[in-house]
Structures are given as C-alpha cells and as structure tokens.
Amino acid sequence: MKPFELVNASSLSSALGALGQAKGAVAKAGGVDLLDLMKEGISAPPRLINLRTIAGLDKIAAASGEQGAVLGPLATLAQLAESKALAGVPAYAALAEAAAAAATPQIRNMATLAGNLCQRPRCWYFRDADYHCLRKGGNKCFAHSGDNAFHAIFENDKCAVVHPSAAAVALSALGAKLELQRAGKDGKVATRELAMADFFVAPSKDVQRENVLAAGELISAVKLPAPQAGQRSAYIKQKQKQSFDWPLGEVAVSLTVTAGKIAAASVVLGSVAPIPWRAKKAEAALVGKAADEALIKAAAEAALAGADPLDDNGYKVPLVKALVRRALTQALVSK
Amino acid sequence: MADHSKRDKGLSRRSFLRSASAGAAAAAAACSTTSKNKPKSGKGATTAAAQRDAVIGPQGVALELEVNGAKRTVTVETRTTLAEALRGALDLTGTKVACDRGACGACTVLLDGAPVCSCLTLAVDAAGRRVQTVEGLAAGDKLSPLQQAFVECDATQCGYCTPGMLMSCKGLLDRNPRPSEAEVRAAVAGNLCRCGTYPHVFAAVARVGASKAKG
Amino acid sequence: MAKRVKAKLGFPGHIESVEIELPPGEPAPWDADSKLAVIGKDATRHDALAKVTGKARYTTDIKRPGMLYARVLRAAHAAAEVQQIDVAKAKKLAGVKGVVVLPVRNARFVGQPLAAIAATSEDVAARALALCKVSYKTRPFVVQLDDAMKAAAPAVHAGGAGASAGAGKSANIRKSKSRRRGDVAKGLRAAKHKVEATFRTQVVLHSSLEPHGIVVDYKDGKADVWCSTQATFAVRDEIAKALEIPVARVRVHAEYVGGGFGSKFHAGTHGLLAAKLSRQTGAPVRLCLDREEEQTATGNRPDSLQRLTLGADARGQLSAMKTVSYGTGGIAGGAGTASPLYNLYDCKSKAAVEHDVYTNAGPAAPFRAPGHPQGAFALEQAIDMLAERAGVDPIAFRINNDKNPVRQAELRRGAERIGWDARRNKKAGGGAKLGAHGELRRGIGVANGLWYNTGRARGEIHVKLHHDGMVEVISGGQDIGTGARTLLAMVVAEELGLSPSAIRTHIGDTSGPYAPGSGGSTTTPTMSPAARKAGYRARLRLEALARKVLGLGDDAALVFADGKVQSKDGGKQISFKKLCARLPEQTMTFSGPRAPNYKAYRETTAGVQLAEVEVDIETGVVRVVKIVAVQDAGRLLNPLTARSQVNGAVLQGMSMALFEERVMDSQQGHVTNANLEQYKIAGAVDVPEIDVQLFDVYNGSNSTGALGLGEPPIVATPGAIANAVYNAIGARVMALPITPARVLAALAAAKKGGAR
C-alpha cells in the first residue's frame, strides 16, 4: 500500500467537495475492497476521502405508504441483513438475504452497501497486478485462455469477469434506483437518479469500468420501490464450500402475484456475467401465468438460454438453472 | 534475447506496491502515551485523526484509541492498519495477521463490540472507538469463561487462529449468550483454523452458553 | 544386561502375553494390565493459557532491539537465465542496511528467491526491492503435469542436472521408486474380476496460518534464532553452516509455532538469507513471508496421475495389484503415492512404479502423510470397484483381503457406528430423494488407512528435580500444535505420581536436549519413551531416598501417587515435596535418552474411516455429513488432544477431497490463487459430525507404546468420501477435488451410460 493523504469528511457535501479538489482522490467507505486493491498494487490513490466519519449515512428508512425504503450508502451488510425494514418485508427479503449470505461476519460488519456495489471484480487475473489484462488497460483477457472455472457464462466474449456484488443482484431484482451526487461547477451538489441496469457497465461498452460513476461522484442513497401487494422476493446463492467463499452462482427474484397469476416478475442472475444479469426471457415466461412446476422449469430454462460457457465453467448452466427454480419456488411459497 | 517487458525492472509493479505496505506501521508508528482512564468525549478532538475536512498524513498522524478499556495515543501513517498499530506501536501481538486480506479472520478484533478484520481496517478509522483484543479478555490472571472453556475443551492446537477465533466468539456471546451450534458456526465462518479445531471451538462456546443458562 | 519381561499386548478382546526383551535400564512397557493415573485421561494443554491470552509469542511476534526487516527479491519469470541482479540503486536507498544476492543462474519458477534486503522497516525493504534490476533471458516454461510429460515439453531443469532425456521422452520425468513382489502379470491372468482405472489428485498447499519466518540475531560469533519450524535442531545446524560457526554457537527458539504440517523442516532459503543479512549488518534481522510467498514458494503436496490395475479371483481374493504413478509439485518432489497400494492388503503379487515430474512451480515438501491420502484415494476407490464387480460388500471385501486384526476390528466398529448395513444404499445412487426439491442423495463409503511409525532411538528428555518439589521437563524440540509438550509432562507425572499441571515444561529451545523434527508422526513415539526414561530414573533416585528416609528395606516397593510417596502397605509415607527437600543437591537432572524399540506387537498404525455424504444432484455440491474415524492410537496418552488431532486430520482430508487446489496459470506461470480466499479451505460451516473412535492398542514397542496421530487419520478421508459420493449418486468421481463441475460431469456421463 503506497502512502496517501486522507480527508476525514464531516458531511457528504464536504466529501464531494474534497473529491473534486484533488486529482485521483478516491472515496473510502468500509475500505474492504479498496484496501485489498491497494495492498495488491491494483490501485494507488494519492488521497482518500473518508466517508466513514460522516454521521447518518448508514441510515435505513423503512418503506411507508407510497414511499419505498431508502438505504444510506454506508449501511453495512450486517445492518442490511438484520434490518426489520428489509428482512421483515417480503418484497425486500431478497436484499436482506443477499446481505446476510455475503462474505464473512467480520466483513459484513465493515463492508457498506455503496462499497459493495462499487467493488471491483474478483477475477484472479484482474487481481494479479502482473497480468496486464483488458480491464487494466491491456489487450488480452487471460481468463479466455487460462483457468475460467469461476468466470462468466454470459457476455464473456470480451472480458469474462463476474460482477462480485451480491447486493447488486438483489437490488436489480427489486428494481432499486441509485441516487448519485457530485459537486457541480457552481459549487452546488448535482444529483442524478439511475436504475440499477443503467448503473452497471458491460465490457462491450467499456471494459475498464464496472459502473458509470463519474470522477468525484458518489452513491448518496439507494431507493427501493414501495412494496406492491402480493410482491415477494428471494435470493439464493450457491457456494462450493459453505464457509467463506465466493458464489458459483446467485439468483434473485421478485414476483408480484395477484389473483393467482404472476403480474410482475424480475429474475436476476449473479456470478454469471460482468454485470448483474437480468434474465428477461425468464421474466417474460412468467408474467401473466399461474405458477406451477412446469412454469418454473420453463422459466429456469429460459433464464439460461443463450449462456455461452467457457472451457471450465459449463457446470454453471445446470447449477444456476437449479438456483432459478429454487428461488422462484422460495418466493412463491413465502408469505 | 533479453525480455524488455516492464516486469523486467527487477520486480513486478505489484510486488512493489503490494509489499510497500507490509508492516509499514511497525517502524513508523510510535506509542506516545498510555492512560488507564476512559477516554472523555471531545478530548480526541486534539488529534490529527479527529480533525474533519482537513488533509492529514501520509505520515505523523496522531490518533487516540481506546484499547481494552485504556486510552492509548499513537502516531501512525494514514495507511497503517489497525492490526499494524496494535502489533507494532502498542505491542499487542496477540492479534495475528495471517492472510492480510480479510479472508482468514486471524486479525479479528472487536470494534465497538462488532468483530472486524483489523488487517482491512485503517487505524485512523478506529479513532474514538472501542477496540477489544485478545489481551483484554482476561481480568488480570483470571480467565474469562470463554477462555477457560477454550482451555478445557482443547479449542486450540497451534494457537495462531485462537485470538481471532476468541474475539469472534466473544462478539457472538455478547449479543447472544446462548447460541445454537449453527449460530456458532456462522459466527466463526470467517475464522480459518488450519489445524481443524472447530469441533472443540463449538464445544467451548456451548460450555459457556450452558453455564449462562444455569446461572 | 538385557531383561526379559512378559507383557499383555494387543487390544481389548485380543490381548496376548508377549515376552519382551528390554534394553538395559529400560522400564517395562505399559501394557493392558498397567493401572495408570494420568495416562489415558484428558489433560489440558500446557500452553493453552498462553494461547488464549495472546501471550504466546510466535516468531512473527518477536521484536529485538535494533531489529531490521528483510524482504526477498523473487524471480518474475517461470523459466529464465538470470543474467544480472543489479542492486546498486537499492543499496543507496536511505534505510537499507544489508543486501545479499544469491548465486542464481537459472530461475525455474515465479517467486524463486534471488536476493534479500534488510532495512529499517519492511516498507523501506520493499521499496529497495523495487529498485533492484534483474536481467532475464526468458525461456519457455511448463506448469501443468500433463504438459510437462509431453516429449516436446520444455525441460524444467535445463541448464542443470537431470536435463537429458532419451529421444521422444520428456526430460521432466524421473522414475523415483519401483517396488515389486510376486508376479503381477500372472496374478492378473488368474483374475476373474479386474479393475483398470486412472485417478488424479491436485496440488494442495500447507497453508499454515503462521507463515514461514525467522529472526536471526548474530553477534560476536553467536546467533540467537527464532524460527517458525518443526525441526529446531535442523534449523540450528543449517544456520550454523550458513554462518560458518559451530552448532553450539547457535540457539534456536521455537516455543510457539503456528502450524507446519510438513512444510517447516528447514531454515529455508529465506532463513539462510536472514542469517547472512544479520552477519552482514551486525543487527537482528526479521524475515517473515507474506501469504502470497507462503502459498507460492514454501512447499506443497504434489498432484498425481495414478493408473491402477487390480485383479481378484472368483471369491474376491486379490490376485494382483499394480500402480504406475506420476506427480508434480514443481521443481522438486512429485511421486510417492504408491505406498498404500504396496503396504495395504494381503496380495502375493504387487508392483508399484512412481515417477517425479518437474514443472516450473515451487518445490514440493512433505505434507501430512506424504503420498498417502492421494494413494488411498485411488486405491480405496479401485478396491470398491473391484468389490462391486466381485459382488462382495466393500467391508467384507476389505476384511477378506487384509489380515491385520486391528484394522478388521476397526472396520467392524466403524460399520456399527455409521449404520453400514441398515443405512448404506444397497444400490449406488438408489437412495431416497431428499431435500426440499428432491435434489439430495445420501451415501456412505469406507476407506482403509495405515501409517508406520513407532518411533526411533533418537533424542532425549531431561527431568529436573528441585529441592522445593518443582519438577521440570525439558526438550529442545518443538510442539507445532500437536500437544506433544503436554504429553511429556503427562508421562513424567505418571512416573512420579503427580498431576501433569504440577509439572513445568520447557520446549522449543535448542539449549535443551536434542529432539528430532516433528515429522512422520514420530514425535510422540520417539519422545514419550525418552520422557518416561528420564522420569523413571528420577523415580529410582527418589525411591532410594524414600526408603532411607522412611526406614524401609532396600527392596521395599513404593507407590508414587497423589503427590505422595508411600510404602506399598500405605504404612509409611512422605509428601513428594518433602522428599525432594531431602535430595542431596539443590537441583538434580535426570537424562532420558531414547532407547531402541522393544520387540513390537505391531509396527504399523491401522485406521479406517467411514463417510456419509449428501450430494445435490442439481448443483453437484457435496456436503460431508459425518465421518467415523476409527484410529489405532497405540497406547493412548491424552484423549483430549488426540481427538483434536484426529478432528484436524479429518478436516484437512475433507478439505482436500472437496475444495483445495493450487491453480497454476500456463500463460505467465503464476499461482492464480496464492491467497486464503480463492485457495479454498474448509471452514466452520463445512465441518461434519466427526465420530472419533480411538482404539487403544498396547503395542509394546517401547516403554509407553504411544503412537503419533498427526498423519494417520488423514490417509483414509478422501477415499472414504469419494466412495460415499459413489454410493450416493451411482457415478464415480475419479479426480480431486470433488467439485460441483466434476460431480455434474460424472452424473451426466453415467446418465449417458458411459463411465461409471
């Protein structure tokens, strides 16, 4: 880790100001992924803007009426996992489940929601500074010609990383929106709001970044839509070992069931693509139908249609199909 | 034919950046005062780490920590991790660093009561917060019930994971005095024991839980 | 003058009276009739207090005044001629105090040590490394076993020894060992049932939580060394050689060692570098490796490719057994998987041929029962396959073909503990559909294991009696987490009628008496008889004193118990403490040199394991539900720590079976998962129920009859799990680790009616 300067920010606006002031300054929340990247020599920012010193950024505001829950960017995974505002609401259960299943107890106490969304891929070629891969500005994806057992089965033709954020998978299924802020030229704070799908960047668009955050821009809030009547969600992941391990596959689903039929469905796959992977064909297969075993099976088949595994990760196709079936079943039986 | 790649400059870029952090604090950090007093609120405002919106570091950052109930002032670099500050300037070497990447839990300490990896926590982020390490578990010569149970159940083998394992178990028991075995397993899922002592760790925590149930 | 005694040896239900010839001055072995107060009862670890309070100082925790921090410059290429190592700029960096450059002509793996720099901090040392300039002339390299075996493969040791190969042959293959008895071809011709199968296992990394590390403080022709090692005296000798000083001028300290598992028998290149840096700078030098270095360059369990051929007659009696194996860890070490096949099962005709294969990766090192879990994984699956073909139950097949009575009894015990007859699927894959989605299948499997060691005539223990009644036990050897330290105290406590906690132990300091390295599970069988000998000699001295003090005749029998010494009828007694006060010297030291072994009841260690697994046939994920580990423990000294060791071995075996695998990248030659995150080691949630069944076997090999338990209980684990997976799903996974990908592939192949 190279030496760096530090600014302990007192407020979000002062943090935004500080970020704008120094070239290459990087915001630090929990610091879990950032310190890892810095220790590995993947990142060497000259200045860190510390968001942990800002009070109130970890607040979780429960949904009320037409207003959905609003999550502070510095809410920890442990807070999300234990929050009654999430775990106690069937529509939001997937997020609490994703947070509870992530990493280790220690990491969940440290890692923040915004940090989790912005963490960089765990691809072992990307994480080794001596591999000058596409994502680091090189001209080759080493996973294509190397060991790709834990890599992408969708959108993997350019760079085969999988997106590492469990929260991103769940939030994508829940239709969350991200509020982003940056210091404007006039000194005022500029705010924009994005759907999850518009936040993440596929390699075909820009292989060197995972999201659209501009320099000096921060996630200032995560907004969930208000729970709908009959809406329930679920998140499932499968790891090789059941203690700390990165998932082989993840699925988050959100279903709104009215009058015995699925009125709205979202199915998002994780650990299969460089971005949270929306399974639109599966969603289309579900909407307007009454759920039964055959439908669930058909949706799972549809979810993996078009998967294009590499040499070592073909197992992910049947594995994730099973997870889709299970997640749908879990969501349908939940109250 | 010589290979003129950038990696040819003796060492790879990574090796430089990566290792440039290791143990940085050991020499750089210095412990200046020690006090048994509980920190008073507001007093920390005098240290650099307590300043807001000012640029501090990279070196010479004064910092107040409350470690095992005692207030300690140390001078660190901004990049100094909590593990480095504890093991270096404060000479609390009970806390171990085994992977230095948050994957093994050997460096687990409690920060405001919650288990965290001190290898991925900057020392400056512990300013003004309660830090508990393995050295703070016993009251003088009297072992805590958890430590006593670890001894009796043989929940140590080589002992290198033990401090982190103890702190994760303490974090659990403080929140949940009578955990189920599944809860114990989940609580130490981030603590790697290469000797495979887990069954005896489960037994030790169960013994503490059982004694609490009685009393 | 040798003495002959009769001893009751064997194991419960199979006790026999055996005449033993004792070496001069040795006590009779503890046998089935011995009434023991301490041995065989749980005793807490002598170092537990230090370990639970954080007071235990490991090598990584050592600080010395003026200590410098060293780091190692490592090769950036997997194969290259090293033309120049230019350290001029590094030397000029402020804070750099010493530089040692190794005479390396050829780099053969990424991470190979080239030089080391000592500086005032790790940070300065690391920055200095970055200023070193190494000129390489790179060559093609090879990191995978199959690639290295090809005729056209780059020669890993090109430019060095062993580089020549015949035309059409890989230069990387070296036949390492060939054993043969009987006529295998004839045995196979006579076979009614045959199995030919190929098995593969992966490279496994020791991953001790404390990395390799050393602190060398060299001053005035003397060196104090703190080292994370499992062989204090080997390190002493190596450092002495590096510093060109007598071994008596080197003192190695290793009171606490954060795991070794076979990887820490030597000072290592980093240790020699630290010694030279300390001599060069005149300051203490600390050189502790980081995790990436630990996982790249400090040893491994080599992988294997094993081709087995077994034959059995119509009644299921083995007629021939053959294995040809290849393996690589890297630039050194490789084979060694044939011993289970060669040493398990009664079969007249056996052949075992082993080959080392070289690749451009860090060298192998001994790892907990070297070669054996790999070999047993292949052998025990092949045995099950043969039993199935012969239509014989796997346990019956094993009992029929292995006359070792301990293992036979263990198999029966294990079968009973796991419910073999009632709960195992009669037809593989034919069990109930379990789980919320009907996706789970359970299965049960068995595997045999063995080990060899009853200790050697090496090393000694000192027992010191002080006039205040304090007893000290001293060994220069180490306890790497096995509990060996506590066992020494227990043995002496038994001899002197004291509680183990009343005895002070001093270990891990080569100023104490010699002890061999902790390897081969020899520490306990080698050192516990030495401890008994020292305690026995102390007791003889105290007996003579007590007879005098108590006014008893020269032949009067005495009882040492509960801190008292009394006449056999109990009529006269004196406290141990008061007796010590009458000793003629303030402190008396009794030496216990390890005598040669007695005539042994049985010289191998038997063990069997039974596994129950649950396989998710949709995801391919395997969960181990239960392991029954029935383990010959020799004379069981401390059940508490013995259970810890068996638990640990089973978990390492399970972790190897399901998760662990070093992944080498063929593009740049790096270990892609040289960390504890992507190198997957079983954690708390993966722990199955472990039913440890310790078999007390009074083997009479020496005065304690104890056996080491580090290695034996890992041998059977992967094979038992693999057989259980087959029983669960009806498809065999022939390679380790048993990943979801492999399970799903095996299921798909079985469905197609292909391999089974």
Q: Give the pLDDT band (50/70/90) at residue C163.
A: very low
Q: Is A151 an 8 Å CB contact of chain C?
A: no
Tell me what pLDDT residue B209 has: 87
Token pair of C282, please? 């005149």
What b/e string do you get for C286-309 counting C-beta neighbours within 10 Å, with b at 16 or more? bbbbbbbbbbbbbbbbbbbbbebb
Q: Is B3 an 8 Å CB contact of chain C?
A: yes
Q: Is A146 an 8 Å CB contact of chain C?
A: yes
Q: Give the pLDDT band (50/70/90) at residue B134.
A: very high
Q: Give the pLDDT band (50/70/90) at residue B29.
A: very low
| Half-sphere exposure for C452 (CA within 13 Å, toward CB) | 12
What b/e string do you get for A272-293 counting C-beta neighbours within 10 Å, with b at 16 or more? bbbbbbbbebbbebbbeeebee
> With contact defined as beta carbons under 8 Å apart, do C183 and C365 qualify?
no
CB atoms C52 and B137 under 8 Å: yes
Residues of B whose CB is below 8 A from A129: 12-14, 17-18
Residue B102 lies in a domain: no
State the best of B8, B9, B19, B143 to mutate against chain C, taking most chain C CBs within 10 Å.
B19
Topology (CATH level 3) of domain C455-593:
Aldehyde Oxidoreductase; domain 4 (3.30.365)
C644-663 pLDDT, tens digit per residue, is 999 999 999 999 999 999 99
Q: Are residues B128 and B182 in the same domain?
A: no
Is pLDDT at C211 greater than 90 in this prediction? Answer: yes
Is pLDDT at C112 greater than 50 in this prediction? Answer: yes
CA distance B168 to B188: 6
Instruction: Specify the DSSP class assigned to residue B107.
Output: T
Q: Are residues B127 and B31 in the same domain?
A: yes
CA distance C197 to B44: 70
Residue B86's alpha-carbon distances to B29, C63, C571, in angstroms, are 10, 14, 59
CB atoms B52 and A14 under 8 Å: yes
B57-83 pLDDT, tens digit per residue, is 999 999 999 999 999 999 999 999 999
Q: Are residues B124 and B151 in the same domain?
A: no
What does the pLDDT average to over C335-339? Answer: 92
What does the pLDDT average to over C127-145? Answer: 98
A311: nearest CA in chain C? C741
Token pair of C314, please? 């119509």
> With contact defined as beta carbons under 8 Å apart, do C622 and C725 qualify?
yes
To the nearest whole angstrom, how far is the Cα of C61 from the nearest Cα of chain B? 6
Token pair of C701, please? 């090999």
Tell me what pLDDT residue B22 has: 38
What does the pLDDT average to over C99-126? Answer: 98
To the nearest whole angstrom, how far is the Cα of C681 from the nearest Cα of chain A? 8
B137: nearest CA in chain C? C53
Averaged confidence pLDDT in chain C: 96
Token pair of A169, please? 């998978």
Residues whose CB is less than 8 angstroms from the CB of residue C267 and which lie 6 or more positions away in sequence, other chains included? C214, C227, C229, C234, C235, C238, C239, C242, C275
Residues whose CB is less than 8 angstroms from the CB of residue A206 and which lie 6 or more positions away in sequence, other chains included? none
Chain position carrying tokens 């000012």: B54
Residues of C whose CB is below 8 A from A145: 667
Residues of C whose CB is below 8 A from A315: 620, 739-741, 744-745
**Domain ranges, residue B91:** 17-95+120-132
Residues of B whose CB is below 8 A from C127: 16, 20
Q: How many CB atoms are located within 10 Å of the residue C102 CB?
A: 18
Token pair of A191, please? 């705010």
Nearest to B17 among A6, A44, A103 (CB): A44
Nearest to C684 among A142, A243, A248 (CB): A243
CA distance B197 to B159: 10
CA distance C731 to C622: 13
CA distance A4 to B24: 13
> With contact defined as beta carbons under 8 Å apart, do C68 and C101 qualify?
no
- Of B45, B63, B46, B68, the C-alpha closest to B125 is B63
Token pair of C460, please? 């000694």
C378-390 pLDDT, tens digit per residue, is 999 999 999 999 9
DSSP C513-529: -----S-TT-HHHHHHH
The DSSP bridge partners found for residue C450 are: C606
DSSP B154-179: T--SS-SSHHHHHHHHHHHHHH-SS-
Residues of C whose CB is below 8 A from A241: 658-659, 680-683, 685-686
Give the torsion through C-alpha atoms of C27, C33, C37, C39, to 10 deg: 70
Cα(first)–Cα(last) distance of chain A, in Å? 48
Q: Are residues B62 and B168 in the same domain?
A: no
Provide the domain count of chain B: 2
What does the pLDDT average to over C461-465? Answer: 98
Instruction: Specify the DSSP class assigned to residue A51.
Output: -
To the nearest whole angstrom, how far is the Cα of C205 from the nearest Cα of chain B? 11
Q: How many CB atoms are located within 10 Å of the residue B112 CB?
A: 13
CA distance A13 to C169: 69
Tell me what pLDDT residue C600 has: 60
Same fold, C404-454+601-751 and C455-593: yes
Amino acid in position A253: V
To the nearest whole angstrom, how far is the Cα of B182 from the nearest Cα of chain A? 12
Please give the sequence-ordered ranges of beta strands (E in DSSP) within C452-506, or none if there are none.
460-466, 471-474, 503-506
Q: Are residues B26 and B89 in the same domain?
A: yes
- Of C231, C257, C230, C225, the C-alpha closest to C243 is C225
Is pLDDT at C77 greater than 90 in this prediction? Answer: yes
C66: nearest CA in chain B? B27
Q: Is B126 an 8 Å CB contact of chain A?
A: no
Instruction: Specify the DSSP class assigned to residue C497.
Output: T
Residue B22 lies in a domain: yes
- Domain C59-140+207-297: assigned CATH number: 3.30.365.10
Residue B80 lies in a domain: yes
SS3 of C614, please?
strand
Q: 248-267 in C: which are within 8 Å (CB) of B?
A: 256-259, 261
Residues of A whose CB is below 8 A from B100: 39
CB atoms C619 and A242 under 8 Å: no
pLDDT < 50: residue spans in chain A: none
Nearest to C208 among B94, B194, B200 (CB): B194
Q: Are residues B23 and B50 in the same domain?
A: yes
> With contact defined as beta carbons under 8 Å apart, do C470 and C644 qualify?
no
CB atoms C210 and B96 under 8 Å: yes
CB atoms B18 and A41 under 8 Å: yes
CA distance C144 to B21: 33
Is pLDDT at C304 greater than 90 in this prediction? Answer: yes
Residue B66 lies in a domain: yes
Q: Give the pLDDT band (50/70/90) at residue C158.
A: confident
Residue B215, classified by CB atoms within 10 Å of its CB into exposed (0-12), middle (13-18) or buried (19+), is exposed
What does the pLDDT average to over C397-423? Answer: 97
Residue B32 lies in a domain: yes
Q: Give the pLDDT band (50/70/90) at residue C603.
A: confident
Domain ranges of chain C: 59-140+207-297, 145-154+163-205+308-357, 404-454+601-751, 455-593
Largest CA distance in chain B: 77
Q: Are residues B47 and B74 in the same domain?
A: yes
What b/e string do you get for C205-244 counting C-beta neighbours within 10 Å, with b at 16 or more? bbbbbbbbbbbbbbeeeebbbbbbbbbbbbbbbbbbebbe
Instruction: Specify the DSSP class assigned to residue C570.
Output: S
> With contact defined as beta carbons under 8 Å apart, do B129 and B112 qualify?
yes
Tell me what pLDDT residue B21 has: 40
CA distance C695 to C605: 10
> With contact defined as beta carbons under 8 Å apart, do B89 and B31 qualify?
yes
Residues of A whose CB is below 8 A from C682: 241, 243
Backbone angles phi and psi of C560, in degrees to 5: -105, 110
CATH number of the domain enclosing B44: 3.10.20
Q: 82-111 in B: which are within 8 Å (CB) of C?
A: 87, 91-101, 103-104, 106
Residues of B whose CB is below 8 A from C206: 194
Write out the H or E segment, with its range, that includes residue A324. helix A316-333
Residues whose CB is less than 8 angstroms from the CB of residue B13 and which lie 6 or more positions away in sequence, other chains included? A41, A129, A130, B6, B7
CB atoms C741 and A149 under 8 Å: yes
> With contact defined as beta carbons under 8 Å apart, do C519 and C262 qualify?
yes
CATH 2.60.40.10 fits C404-454+601-751, yes or no: no
State the best of A4, A12, A19, A39 to mutate against chain B, taking most chain B CBs within 10 Å.
A39
CA distance B183 to A53: 31
CA distance C677 to C362: 20
CA distance C296 to C205: 9
Residue B152 lies in a domain: yes
Tell me what pLDDT residue C660 has: 98
Q: Are residues B128 and B178 in the same domain?
A: no
Q: How many CB atoms are located within 10 Å of the residue C751 CB?
A: 10
CA distance A140 to C154: 24
What does the pLDDT average to over C92-111? Answer: 98
Q: Are residues B127 and B176 in the same domain?
A: no
Q: Is A209 an 8 Å CB contact of chain B?
A: no
Tell me what pLDDT residue B1 has: 36
Tell me what pLDDT residue A335 has: 55
Count, residues in chain A = 335
Q: Are residues B126 and B38 in the same domain?
A: yes
Is pLDDT at C119 greater than 90 in this prediction? Answer: yes
Tell me what pLDDT residue C755 has: 43
Tell me the percentage of chain C whose pLDDT exceeds 90.
92
The CA-CA-CA angle for residues B18, B22, B26, to 5°, reads: 160
Q: 87-126 in C: which are within 8 Å (CB) of B?
A: 120-126
CATH number of the domain enclosing B167: 1.10.150.120
Q: Is A293 an 8 Å CB contact of chain C?
A: no
Amino acid in position C183: D
- Domain A231-333: assigned CATH number: 3.30.390.50
C686-732 pLDDT, tens digit per residue, is 999 999 999 899 989 899 999 999 999 999 999 999 999 999 999 99
